[in-house]
Homo-oligomer: A and B are copies of this chain.
């Protein structure tokens, strides 16, 4: 019920079945849009994806940050009276109470035993299902015409744009630019123009001799449990100059090289026809100019692709900016990240480029090394962002709360205007403390990684009951935090958690031209997944993604938003109805145990 509250406030998703058992039914005849996030459908073929002329009028609202959260005021008068525009605003005190409630729950002995047992039961139940129904499932799939694992839609639900090409692709692109335009000015240093040839000369390198070995962007054994080393792999040949030149949106070339590579990746997706991806682009919060610059990069280089939908990642590196005196306090970072979005929402006419770009942005990610320990414990006694001036980085849960809070207000404002809303989809549970998964349980629509659910039966069971989508990247984990064979993906899938497969960083982790297929192939081989398993993962990936309602209907079936077998169109998903029925019955079974227990408690309370 706690998660449901936070989900509804932010237009995040909450499963209808679970809501029904919690006593908050949603009729299946209700329009699917109800309570769902709103994503722009892609422009029609005859439409211009870069059209800047449909910006709605200026509402004239004012926005002020208070305690790290942006408040909207109708006008100057209301601002003076401190009467914000009627939107839900988050309340830190309630939030900390809710947090501590769940924190208490996950350490409660009997609850742990109960969840542990239920999870064991779920796993055994699936094994039994598999033994009994494997051949029937396959028979269903064999008689399903024209659809197989290769032509069901798959979304790469977690991939960083700066690493979305594989190492060979990056190498070829670098060589190509050097061959075709060595004398082009690509940077200015101390007022002096520098050509591409000079860049390589200064690195004492001839691109002809460059290899994937000397490029050295691939993660290897050296990066295991070394996120710091992994991060430096983003620098080709160890040179940050090349990263700036080839993998950034802001540089002397206006990010042209990066845009060209991303577009090459997009063309491959479009040719593959059935593959989509949700690359992350960075907003750092150093300056409010980052947003208009990013929007301009997108439009100027025509980066739109029907097979890509964009996520904004915010690295949790306030401490670095603060140490360099780029920011006075954490509140300023939040303001830089969110104020431009409020402005573009209130007055799209004056922020046409950003307004347009936001149509193709469907969510926010929070990224960085989770294994870094923080001394600070987030509570309602913590300094609020505007007075967080220390050089210490706020803890994970602090970041998550303030990201969620601002996205929540923003979504409500945008919804009021009929504009698209955003999902909060942080990295969570890759490493570090399991309390991260508690924060995300409240604040996130879905998460990336979720490995540490392995360590907390209560959280794992809660994530199951709430069917929180988890984008897992076992090949990435294998290079960074967890050996492939120990990855819990297979176990999670069997139990019925809502998992999808994603690549994270093809540049660092993959060998073949088709990174997402490599990810599926290795999982299939190592864990002996069946075709039905693979197609279930692919279906999950589409559901989890920020693809629009219209696209999901096209890719998964008219009724995709319904739960259980009636939400499945096997002709489109190639998932056996037997499997869907098993999942649905199993979930209902678990939920009915709980709701029965709740009812009997209520009765006991009444009798008393």
Q: How many copies does the complex hold?
A: 2
Q: Please determine whether B521 and A517 come into contact, CB atoms closer than 8 angstroms.
A: no
- Proximity bits, A160-190, B CB within 8 Å = 1, else 0: 0000000010000000000000000000000
How many residues from A make CB contacts under 8 Å with B?
47
A213 to B148, CA, bound (A): 6
- Proximity bits, A477-492, B CB within 8 Å = 1, else 0: 0100000110000000
Q: Please determine whether B211 and A147 come into contact, CB atoms closer than 8 angstroms.
A: yes
A525 to B221, CA, bound (A): 10
The stretch from A435-443, A461-469, A505-513, A592-600 touching chain B is A505-513
- Proximity bits, A123-134, B CB within 8 Å = 1, else 0: 000000000001
A149 to B148, CA, bound (A): 33
- Proximity bits, A498-534, B CB within 8 Å = 1, else 0: 0000000000011111100110111011101011000
Chain B min CB distance to A133 (Å): 13
Find chain B residues with CB under 8 A from A221 CB: 134, 528, 530
Find chain B residues with CB under 8 A from A213 CB: 138, 141-142, 144, 148-149, 531, 574
Find chain B residues with CB under 8 A from A511 CB: 517, 520-521, 524-525
Find chain B residues with CB under 8 A from A138 CB: 213
Chain B CB within 8 A of A114 CB: no
A148 to B214, CA, bound (A): 9
Q: Please determine whether A148 and B211 come into contact, CB atoms closer than 8 angstroms.
A: yes
Chain B CB within 8 A of A121 CB: no
Find chain B residues with CB under 8 A from A324 CB: none
A216 to B138, CA, bound (A): 10
Where chain A touches its partner, the secondary structure class is helix
8 Å CB contact of A212 from B148, B209, B478: B148
Q: Across the two chains, which residue of chain B brings its CB closest to A534?
A: B511
Find chain B residues with CB under 8 A from A143 CB: 214
Find chain B residues with CB under 8 A from A145 CB: 206, 208-209, 211, 214
Chain B min CB distance to A131 (Å): 11
Q: Across the two chains, which residue of chain B brings its CB closest to A510?
A: B521
A196 to B435, CA, bound (A): 63
8 Å CB contact of A142 from B147, B208, B216: B216
Find chain B residues with CB under 8 A from A142 CB: 211, 213-214, 216
- Evaluate whether A211 and B518 lie within 8 angstroms (CB atoms) in the complex, with A478-B525, A485-B485, A526-B484 already known: no
Q: Across the two chains, which residue of chain B brings its CB closest to A526?
A: B484
Chain B CB within 8 A of A252 CB: no
Q: Please determine whether B212 and A150 come into contact, CB atoms closer than 8 angstroms.
A: yes
Q: Please determine whether B150 and A475 come into contact, CB atoms closer than 8 angstroms.
A: no
Residue from A147, A149, A168 having most chain B Cβ neighbours under 10 A = A149
A511 to B514, CA, bound (A): 11
A208 to B146, CA, bound (A): 7
Quick one: which of A94-141 are within 8 Å of B by CB? 134, 138, 141
Q: Please determine whether A150 and B134 come into contact, CB atoms closer than 8 angstroms.
A: no
Find chain B residues with CB under 8 A from A149 CB: 212-213
8 Å CB contact of A518 from B212, B518, B531: B518
Chain B min CB distance to A518 (Å): 6
Chain B CB within 8 A of A41 CB: no
Q: Across the two chains, which residue of chain B brings its CB closest to A139?
A: B213
Find chain B residues with CB under 8 A from A484 CB: 525-526
Q: Across the two chains, which residue of chain B brings its CB closest to A528?
A: B221
Residue pairs across A and B with Cβ atoms less than 8 A apart, 30 shown, are A138-B213, A141-B211, A142-B211, A142-B213, A142-B216, A145-B211, A145-B214, A146-B209, A146-B210, A147-B211, A148-B213, A149-B213, A220-B528, A221-B528, A221-B530, A475-B525, A478-B526, A484-B525, A484-B526, A485-B485, A509-B525, A511-B517, A511-B520, A511-B521, A511-B524, A511-B525, A512-B518, A518-B521, A522-B526, A526-B526
Closest 6 CB pairs of A and B: A145-B209, A148-B211, A511-B521, A148-B212, A141-B213, A142-B214
